């Protein structure tokens, strides 16, 4: 099998994972929606290249964190269908990582969007 073919198969599996998350994870759909709103707001506020870079990174990393959180939940569910304290800790900790990241994302978005929005309302 060629390297290109292996890469193509890997990308196909990755895209399948995104579709799975979209189909099964409400929080992933919320993140997609908020990301699209941020892009729309950014387009209307004429962001600088650096601001677009920050917003793009925050969006991509947030979606990545949510996918990791989802994969941890799937693996824990695969390993046990019983309520186990360690399974709960694994899921809660993964969700906490996403929560911490989301809070940081709100701060970054605030630094970028709030001054621009204030200028719109002041002028």
Give the ranges where 1-123 is alpha helix by DSSP (H).
3-24, 26-45, 49-79, 85-122
Condensed to tens digits (0 to 9), the pLDDT of residues 34-52 reads 999 999 999 999 999 999 9
Q: Which residues are catalytic?
A: 66
How much is the pLDDT for 80? 86
Domain that holds residue 62: 26-122
What DSSP designation does 46 have? T
Q: Is residue 20 part of a domain?
A: no
- Report yes or no: 112 and 55 within 8 Å, Cβ to Cβ: yes
Residue 73, marked binder: yes
- For 17-51, b where at least 16 C-beta lie within 10 A, e where not — what string? eeeebeeebeebeebbebbeebeebbeeeebeeeb
Share of the chain above pLDDT 90, in %: 85
| Count of structural domains within the chain | 1
Q: CATH code at 117?
A: 1.10.287.3610
Condensed to tens digits (0 to 9), the pLDDT of residues 50-85 reads 999 999 999 999 999 999 999 999 999 999 888 999
Q: Is residue 12 part of a domain?
A: no
Residue 91, marked binder: yes
Residue 88, marked binder: no
What is the average pLDDT across 7-26? Answer: 94
């Amino acid at each position: 099998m060629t390297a290109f073919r292996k890469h193509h198969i890997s990308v196909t599996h990755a895209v399948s994972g995104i579709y799975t998350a979209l189909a099964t994870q409400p929080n992933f759909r919320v993140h997609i929606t908020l990301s699209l709103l941020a892009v729309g707001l950014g387009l209307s506020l004429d962001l600088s290249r650096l601001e677009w870079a920050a917003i793009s990174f925050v969006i991509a990393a947030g979606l990545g964190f949510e996918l990791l959180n989802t994969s941890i939940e799937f693996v824990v569910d695969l390993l046990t269908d019983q309520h186990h304290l360690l399974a709960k800790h694994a899921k809660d900790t993964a969700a906490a990582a996403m929560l911490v990241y989301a809070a940081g994302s709100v701060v970054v978005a605030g630094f970028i969007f709030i001054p621009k929005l204030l200028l719109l309302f002041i002028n």
